[in-house]
Chains A and B, each alone.
Chain A
């Protein structure tokens, strides 16, 4: 649950709807019917960069995450992948 391959491409699950909020964002998965909260706008930016980034690492960097914070953001992305909010993409 705490690890996610930062060097591969990831995408939002097609059944996930994202709603930005002042405090972060709400994610709702229509398949699992689970609601998830993001309490961080930068994490939302990372997720939004995933679709056009070749790896999760480049998505993080594009969103302004610095090297020292990568592990922390990697864990947050892993939690999202665990909840099926993110899926691996074949590039």
Chain B
């Protein structure tokens, strides 16, 4: 989020926002809501392991009840994702319902349903923002991660949005080892469409756990990214996801704090509430919106969220001179690489994370669920019966010809 504190000049009594937020808010500022696990793509790093729809998905009526709650709690906006949210048949209905109820919508899409008509509809709604996912400034780099044809699909969506007069929609990039050299190209692409560039961090969550070792930026690329982000300031959005890089020195724009369970959270397609979108694991499951008391009760009373809002101790990081700027980094990144939650981030810019990873680690936790589409049909092996002459006799052998031997 873009943040700008308005203070009455520096006074010694004014606490820093980061310190206020550490104790959590009565309602999230924004939250992520994965509407469906169904997806037409199968990106290698999908943080929700999406592909197949979960049959227990929230119904239209249940989703509207969640929106009513968000309105009552004055949640400014929801980040809708998936899966590919636009493949839900009621996607447009829910979008209109949310914005009519003063809950702004930002949604992430791979562009598959952004037709000229859909783009026109989006451009006319002031309370909607669109993020088109693109993980390479060129088709080869993008499609290697997101699948064949996905670059063309995204570019077509960008064309449609720009032609419809939509302004400042986002091109959302997950930074990888292969696209860090393309940062300037991404910026040029965004400028070409009148869009804004948004860069986010690759997390070892969902299927991302399987590719993180190969795809996460190298140490020198992290430095390159940090310098690039500092040079571009507020013009490039980051979802505040690179606060671990602040330990290089100057803090990056935005909220340099893990907001999990304090200012943000995730609602998944079946209504499960997790501390953050990158932590879909039972360890970070706070409750379900279908329970009595709904989402508000989960947000306010869940034991997990209370724990996350209690003062955190830096553990091994407490003695580091940079702990105050990076706060130990990303909880999900630590968890899914098998590092202790009170230890360094795996991508700690001081090198402590790498050191810990090299020392060996316990098993890496697996995501609690996998919604990936099966890559191919289940294998069947056809064999002959041992005695082909013997008739197939079973409990339902009702056929009058069963047992008949023709000699």
Chain A interface (Cβ within 8 Å of chain B)? 15, 17, 19, 21, 23, 26-28, 30-31, 33-40, 43, 72-73, 75-76, 79-80, 83
Query: Apart from A26-B29, A34-B2, A39-B7, what 19 extra A-B contacts exist at CB < 8 Å?
Result: A17-B74, A17-B102, A21-B25, A21-B26, A23-B15, A23-B20, A28-B76, A33-B2, A33-B129, A34-B4, A35-B76, A36-B5, A36-B6, A37-B5, A37-B6, A39-B8, A40-B8, A43-B6, A72-B9
B44 CB → nearest A CB, Å: 30
State the CA gap A17–B102 with chains docked (Å): 9
B127 & A80 in contact (Cβ 8 Å cutoff): no
* A43 in contact with B3 (CB, 8 Å): no
- What B residues does A35 contact at CB under 8 A? 1-4, 29, 76
Q: Are A83 and B4 in contact (CB under 8 A)?
A: yes
By secondary structure, the B interface counts as loop
**Cβ of B172 to closest chain A Cβ, rounded Å:** 14
A72 touches B8 (CB 8 A): yes
CB contacts (< 8 Å) of B29 on chain A: these are: 26, 28, 35
- Most B CB contacts (10 A, CB to CB) among A37, A80, A83 go to A37
Chain A's closest residue to B2 (CB) is A34
The CA-CA distance from A19 to B26 in the complex, in Å, is 10
Q: B136 an interface residue at 8 Å Cβ cutoff?
A: no
Of all chain A residues, which has the CB nearest B102? Answer: A17
The answer to whether B14 touches A39, judged by C-beta atoms less than 8 angstroms apart, is yes
User: Size range of the interface on B?
Assistant: 20 to 34
Q: Is the CB of B8 within 8 A of A73?
A: yes
For residue B271, give the distance in angstroms from its CB to the closest CB of chain A.
24
- The answer, yes or no, to whether B126 is at the interface (CB within 8 Å) is yes
How many Å lie between the Cα of A43 and that of B14 in the bound state? 14
26 A-B residue pairs with CB within 8 Å: A15-B126, A17-B102, A19-B76, A21-B26, A26-B76, A28-B29, A28-B76, A30-B127, A33-B2, A33-B168, A34-B2, A34-B3, A34-B4, A35-B1, A35-B2, A35-B4, A36-B6, A37-B4, A37-B5, A38-B6, A39-B17, A40-B8, A43-B8, A76-B8, A83-B4, A83-B6
Asked if B111 lies at the interface with its beta carbon under 8 angstroms from chain A, I say: no
| Whole-angstrom distance between the Cβ of A29 and the nearest chain B Cβ | 9
Quick check: B3 and A37 within 8 Å, CB to CB?
A: yes
Q: Look across to chain B and name the residue whose beta carbon is closest to the beta carbon of A40.
A: B8
- Within the complex, the shortest CB–CB distance from A86 to chain B, in Å, comes to 11
- Please measure, in the bound complex, the distance between the C-alpha atom of A14 and the C-alpha atom of B377, giving whole angstroms: 55
| B104 at the A interface (CB under 8 A) | yes
Selected contact of A75 from candidates B9, B20, B102, CB within 8 Å: B9
B residues 20-34 touching A (CB-CB < 8 Å): 20, 25-27, 29
Kindly provide the distance from the CB of B309 to the nearest chain A CB, expressed in whole angstroms.
13
- Minimal beta-carbon separation of A19 from chain B (angstroms): 4
Which residues in B have their C-beta under 8 angstroms from that of A27?
6
Q: Compute how far the CA of A32 lies from the CA of B27 in the bound complex, rounded to whole angstroms.
A: 22
Query: Complex Cα distance A79/B77, Å?
Result: 23
Q: How far is the CA of A60 from the CA of B129 in the complex (A)?
A: 35
B27 contacts across to A, CB distance below 8 A:
19
A37–B3 CA distance with the chains assembled, in angstroms: 8
B64-116 with Cβ < 8 A to chain A:
74, 76-77, 102, 104
Q: Which of A19, A21, A72, A76 contacts B6, CB < 8 Å?
A: A76
Which residues from A are CB-within-8-Å of B14?
39
- Determine the chain A residues whose CB is within 8 A of the CB of B74 once the complex forms: 17, 19
Question: Chain B CB within 10 Å — which of A30, A31, A80 has the most?
Answer: A30
User: Which of B3, B6, B127 is close to A39, meaning CB atoms less than 8 Å apart?
Assistant: B6
Q: How far is the CA of A15 from the CA of B8 in the complex (A)?
A: 24
Cβ < 8 Å to A, chain B residues 174-204: none
B9 with A37: CB separation less than 8 A: no
